[in-house]
Structure 1
Amino acid sequence: MQKNQEKNNRIVIKVGSAILVENQSINFDCIEALAQLIAKLRSVYEVILVSSGAVAAGYTEIKLDKTNLSNKQALAAIGQPLLMQIYANVFEKYQITTAQVLLTAYDFDSRKHTQNARNAMEVLLSNQVLPIINENDVIATGELKYLGFGDNDQLSAHVAHFFDARLLAILSDIDAYFEANPKDYPNAKMRKVVTQISDDELCAEFTPNNQFATGGIVTKLKAAKFLLDNQKEMFLSSGKDLSVLHDFLMHNIYEKGTLFTTNP
C-alpha cells in the first residue's frame, strides 16, 4: 500500500453475496465481524462500504425464481431494506450511523449526478456516517445493461475512483488471485502483487461460486484494471478471514491476498 496515508485515508470495502449469504440465509456472524473490523479501521481511515446481498436477503423472505428478471428485481426491492436494517442494528453496537446509497452506472456517466453523489458522500463522511452503497438492482439488473454495471465489483471500483478513495478492498470467497484456478490446480501459486492485467485475463470465463453471486474473478480483474488505469490500488482477500485485510490496512503486511498496484 502506498505510504501517503496522511494525504488520503479514504478507502472502499466491497463485500459480496458469497460472503454475506450462507445456505440461502444471511450470515449474521460475517456481518458482525465486518462491523467490528470497520469500527477498528475508522480510527485511521474514512470507510465507504459497498455491499451486495439485496437479492439474497429478499430470497430469505420469499422464494422467487431469480433467473427471471422481474423476480430478481422484486427480490432486490424486498431485500434491500432488510439488509440495511441488519447493518443498522449491527453497527449501532459500535455507535456507527449508517446511510443507504443506491447508484447505477448512469450516475457516473452524468456529471451532475456524479457531483450530487460526491457532495452527499462528503457530508456523510465528514459527519462520521458510514455510507453503504449498492447498485439499484430494481432498475439496473440483468438485461438492463445500459443502466447497470451487472456486478458490484465494477461498481465499487467506480465508487473508489469517483469518490476519491485511494484503495478498494474486495472481500471475496477466494484468498487471492492465483496463477491458475486453485480448485482445478491445487498447486497454483498465489500472486501477491499484480501491476498489469492482460487482455487474456479479462476475457476468461466468469466463475461465480454462489447462486446469488453475479461475478467471479474476471469482474474483480476488470475492477482492478479500471483502478490501475486511474493510478489507484485494489486489494483482494478472503471475506472469511478478515485478519488479512486488517493486517494489510493497519500494519501494511500480508501473507495472503493480492495487491493490485502501479507502485510495487
Structure 2
Amino acid sequence: MAADTLRQSLVGSKTTVVVKVGTNVLTNATGELDRRRIESLAEQISRIRAAGHRIALVSSGAIGAGVGKLGLGKRPTDLPHLQACAAVGQSALMQLYQEALNPYRIHAAQILLTASDFDSRVRYLNMRNTISTLFEFNALPIINENDTVSIAEIKFGDNDQLAAMVANLLHAPLLVLLTNVDGLYSGDPRSDANARLQATVPHIDAAVTGMAGTSKSSLGTGGMKSKLKAARLATAAGGAVIMANGSIDGILDQIFRAEAVGTLFLPHGESIPAWKRWLGFTAQSKGQLVVDAGAAGAICQRGTSLLPVGVRDVQGDYGKGDVVTICDSGGKEIARGLTNYTAADTRRIMGRATDQIIQQIGNIPYVELVHRDNLVVTG
C-alpha cells in the first residue's frame, strides 16, 4: 500500500490510536510545563475523538515538570532526586491535563505502569480491560511510567518503548510519536547541511538505525535511537508509526487530515493476535537459545517448532514456561516463545535428536523445546 493511501486509511477508519508526547514537547526551556501546548494538545485530541477514534495518550513530563516546580534548573542524575521530581511533577502534570480537557467534558484518567506490569499475563489483560472501560466512560487514558517506584525504567527505559507496548496491548493500527524534531533525518540536521527528512521508511534496518546518531533530549530520557526502537516494535507487529514535531501548532490535526508531515514508518510484519503480541513484543525474555542455521531457517521460513537438536547454546537461568529469546548463530534475535524446559534441562538435551534423548534420560516429556503454537517470529 502506498504511503499516502496508508495515511488516508489510518485516519479515515474509526481506529484506536496511541499518541506519545515527549517531555521536551510539554515543557519550556526551564523545564516548566507549557500550559498553552497542553491546551492545544487537548483541543486536538477532542476533535480526533469526535471523529470516532479512540485515543490513549502516553505522556512524559512528570520528572521534567518536577524539575521546573522545584526550581532545579536541570534534570538530576541520581535515583532519589529523579523519583522525588516524578512525585512532585506527576500531580502537576495530571492537574494541567484535566484543566485543559474540562472544556470538552473529557475525564483525565491516570495510569502509571512499570515494565513488570507487562510481564504478567494477568496484569497485562487487566490493563487492556481497564483502558477499554475508560473509553466507554468518555475518559482519556493518560499513561506514564511509574517513575516514583521503578528503578530500571528511569535508568534505562523511556516512554517511547512504553508507547509501543501500549499500542501492541490495544492492537492499535497507528502509533504517533510526538517529539521536538520533524521526524527522522538522514543525518543530524544540526551539524549536517545535507541531512534530509525521511518522509517514509518501509523497513527499519541497520541503515535506518544508523541515521539516529547519538542525539538525546535535554529533559527526557529518550533520543532518536529510542524512537526507532519503539517504531520497530510497533511495525513488526503490524502497526504503522508516524513520528512528527509536537512543537508545531496543530500537528495532530495535520496528521489526521492525512497530510504528509513527519516520517511514516510502514508496517513490515503481519498483524498478529493479541496473545502473540504479548509473547513476542511485550513480555520480557528470561533467557536465550542460540540455534543453528537449519533450525533458524525452519522457524523463520516454515514456522516450525524448535527441537532440542537445533540448539547450540543456552544463556540465562530460566524456568519452564518462561519467555525465551531465540537467536541465530550470529546472535540476531529471530523469535520468542514459551519454553517447555528449564535452562538446566535444556543444557542436558540440546544438540540431541529425540531418540538420543530417550536413550540418555529414559523419557522425554516434550518433543519440542518451544512449540510453534507458543512461538512468535520477531526477526
TM-score, length-scaled by structure 1: 0.90
Q: CA RMSD in A?
A: 2.1
Matched, 1:253 2:254: no
Alignment of 1:199-218 (within 5 A): 199=206, 201-202=208-209, 205-210=213-218, 212-218=219-225
Matched, 1:120 2:126: no
Match of 2:143 in 1: 133
Which of residues 54, 59, 65 is equivalent to 1:51? 59
Deviation by residue 1:46-87 (Cα, 9 ceiling, x = unmatched): 111110010111122324561111110111011111110111
Match of 2:92 in 1: 82
Partners in 2 of 1:61 and 1:216 — Cα distance? 24
Alignment of 1:84-233 (within 5 A): 84-141=94-151, 144=152, 150-199=157-206, 201-202=208-209, 205-210=213-218, 212-233=219-240
Going from structure 1 to structure 2, the CA distance change for 1:149 and 1:122 (only over 3 Å counts) comes to farther
Partners in 1 of 2:264 and 2:239 — Cα distance? 11
Which of residues 2, 10, 17 is equivalent to 2:23? 17
Count residues in correspondence. Answer: 257
Match of 1:60 in 2: 68
The structural deviation recorded for 1:191 is 0.7
Going from structure 1 to structure 2, the CA distance change for 1:201 and 1:194 (only over 3 Å counts) comes to closer
Partners in 2 of 1:5 and 1:185 — Cα distance? 33
Counterpart secondary structure, 1:186: coil
Unpaired runs of at least 5, structure 1? none
Deviation by residue 1:173-218 (Cα, 9 ceiling, x = unmatched): 00111111111113311111111112354475541232x1111110
The structural deviation recorded for 1:6 is 7.2
Counterpart secondary structure, 1:191: coil
Going from structure 1 to structure 2, the CA distance change for 1:149 and 1:124 (only over 3 Å counts) comes to farther
Q: Radius of gyration: which is bigger?
A: 2
Alignment of 1:227-242 (within 5 A): 227-242=234-249
Given that residues 8 and 258 in structure 2 are in contact (C-alpha distance below 8 angstroms), is that contact kept between their aligned partners in structure 1? no
Partners in 2 of 1:179 and 1:107 — Cα distance? 36
Given that residues 88 and 97 in structure 1 are in contact (C-alpha distance below 8 angstroms), is that contact kept between their aligned partners in structure 2? yes
**Matched residue type, 2:122:** K
Given that residues 202 and 267 in structure 2 are in contact (C-alpha distance below 8 angstroms), is that contact kept between their aligned partners in structure 1? yes
Match of 2:355 in 1: none
Partners in 2 of 1:192 and 1:136 — Cα distance? 34
Comparing both chains, which one has the higher relative contact order based on Cα–Cα distances under 8 Å and sequence gaps of 6 or more?
1
TM-score, length-scaled by structure 2: 0.64
Counterpart secondary structure, 2:111: strand
Counterpart secondary structure, 1:189: coil
Going from structure 1 to structure 2, the CA distance change for 1:157 and 1:51 (only over 3 Å counts) comes to same
Counterpart secondary structure, 1:177: coil
Counterpart secondary structure, 1:93: helix
Deviation by residue 1:112-171 (Cα, 9 ceiling, x = unmatched): 110111110110011211000001111224xx25x9861101100100111221111011
